[in-house]
Structure 1
Amino acid sequence: MKSYEVNFDGLVGPTHNYGGLSYGNVASQSNSQQSSNPKEAALQGLAKMKALMEMGFQQGVLAPQERPDVAALRRLGFAGSDAQVIERAAKDAMPLLVASCSASSMWVANAATVSPSADTSDGRVHFTAANLNCKYHRSIEHPTTSRVLGAMFADQKHFAHHAALPAVAQFGDEGAANHTRFCHDYGQAGVEFFVFGRSAFDTRYPAPQKYPARQTLEASQAVARLHGLSDDGVVYAQQNPSVIDQGVFHNDVIAVGNGEALFYHEDAFLETDKMLVELQAKLAKRGGNFQAICVPRSQVTVEDAVRSYLFNSQLLSRADGSMLLIVPEECRGNERVWQYLQGLTSSGGLIREVKVFDLKQSMQNGGGPACLRLRVALNQTELAAVNPGVIMTAPLYDTLTQWVDKHYRDRLSENDLADPQLLLECRTALDELTQILKLGAVYPFQIN
């Protein structure tokens, strides 16, 4: 039976703004308080989805969240009508209002960790929503994320959903941004690769000194247990603390893997040689031939990687066995990175082609091509069981672009977040979106 890696891209929400909320994310902080363009952001993301679909890749859509999150503000003591809650938050605690308006759910690499049926003990595809408890503005996402994923992957015969891990620092979980999977074929048993920044309980593991390590070893181990993964199908690796302190807040900012290949920076991990040996041995037992592609620091520095988001790219397998790398425009703008990529694709190796996409609106907030997608490996039967409303087609692309043009603003500043009309615009748009994507009632305003 044929199997696929389906990329479900996050649809950018109507409140896309530059709040500078993500400490440790250089781009997020450096562009704080600039005016954003939600319409442009959403259309840029949709253009990438359409392009991948037209290249023959399976492509889906993951809906954004309701923002501002009035219910979250109520839990923090703001009372009255929805408009009064927003007004009072803007007057007394603007940072909380900004956090409640964040469109960060667009980066669905953080939405969940996904294990395909070939790896799990019960033969189902498992999803665990990420608690994202390191940042308040992201920690409020997982209840809606769980409902949206449940509406997309509803058939319990094929799909299993787990609640987010306990929302405490010891189980900080950032989802698939710190997880990848290696396999010979998407339908065969593979090796799941969990990268952590620190251990909550074991002091033998060093921690970064400047920026927080968002993923814990204990969270990764808990997800592996929940998904019923076997020990011989899992590898844990620690991210280099020094690169976290240079702005590498997730593993997907310094490494990307797909199929049998890991594309990574020389400084990405601790005990790299040991990790590579383990990956090679475990994948070989599952019929795979692991290949490591190391980018040396002498050619691309960590600073280059962070500024260009070279590794926050999509590594896609083509029918002829070669791979395609999807990178943001910022890679072409960095002389050292672009020179490296030209040499890489002309060397006759595994990665034969690079395609560049303009994702400036997302990039300015710290998210590149890899941040915008959640990968789900599915066989033909499982793909047929997915809610068909979320699978990208040419008509759906046209419908969504029209929907964006109808509902989104082309400029949004911090002051605009205090406008109660923005909440009404967002709810109107999302109510229509759930009908377009056939999701049913997944948002709090539709349920309560």
Structure 2
Amino acid sequence: MSNPGEADLTPIQSARDLAGWFAAGSKPRDQWRVGTEHEKIGFYRDGFAPPPYEPDGIAALLEGLATKGWERIEDAGKLIGLKRGLASVSLEPGGQFELSGAPVITIQETEAELDDHLRDLRAVAEPLGIGFAGLGFHPTATREAMPWMPKSRYAIMREYMPRVGDMGLDMMLRTATVQANLDFGDEADMVEKLRISLALQPLATALFANSPFREGEATEYRTLRGHVWSRTDPDRTGIPAVAFEDGFGFERFADWVLDVPMYFVMREGRFVDATGTTFRDFMAKGLPKDPAVRATMGDWADHVTTVFTDVRLKRFLEMRGADMGSAAMVSALPAFWVGLLYDDAAQKAAAALVRGWSVAQMQALRADVPMRALDSSIGGLTLREVARDVLAISREGLRARGHGEERFLEPLERIAASGETQADHWLRRNAEWGGEVSRVFEEAAL
């Protein structure tokens, strides 16, 4: 979850303004970029407990990084993020440490950005005895043992989440993801890319499955994180059927988002609880507790960030289905999606591959993947078989770009060939450890 941005106080004149907000993200091909975000699970090397905000924890890490040319972001006097150019560092509710990378042209630039970030982070973390693991769910800590970061918006969400799902607090505190953000050319291009990526997001979830442990025990899940998201908040998660309806586009998506329940609005530098209303009602009536508070375009931009669909449309597309993993897997995610969606022939091939899948089939697949990963099936094929075809398309798409990015797919190609996900690797290692799950921290350290 990102740091709070600059407020846009422009009044909303009509619902068309909201569709126009999305449309403003359209870009010519020569301006398409890829951004990568990843969240890391912190642990003290002595005992593996999650670091608190302070003392000698997350705040100290941010202070250390701030000396390396980052601008401070504060919330009620607490340092909660950093910004440098188009990149930022932010905190998830349980202290998961997130880098939102700058938009770049090639996957090699993503790899270099990750290497630089991890080098700088290790330099400030090691004196504090803190390490970071590339995993999708905290493998040992209970929900109650996790710290809460001092971001005002999280207090509102912490209160709201248990009303709408039984694992929303687990999502906030104990999960970690890697995410890729891609551009679109125009409305038609957005629609095709969104449909392809929603259809294939369960495949990405399976390929990147990396969270088989909970509270020191192996579970029946390859991606516990994927399961948690299915029990977080049905009003704003999953694969929205609206994206596959005839006539879908910016206006139809904006109309759907209008009815997603709100969390908050920001006024005078503080978050105001807006739960209990939708953005549609907010536009018409103001906030229930203060009707004088009227909706602005800044409120809309903030509200869009609280939509947690498997692929989120903002002024770009966010691929949200993957567990955090190794450094190689962090770079593999943007490579996978760029290969599919930034070359015309690859995009058309991917669209043809998923065209016969119904929304019901996709949603059933999404429900099955957390436990079965690549053993799940759709349209008479296992996801392992689908993965081979999709990765071949992605490889051709990367080859056509001419940047030599194909090598970044190799970890995924090995997983598809062997059928062994990162989660399967850890389950095998856990058997070798005699069930001592805490040993995963050092082996998964970044």
Tell me the TM-score normalized by structure 1.
0.29
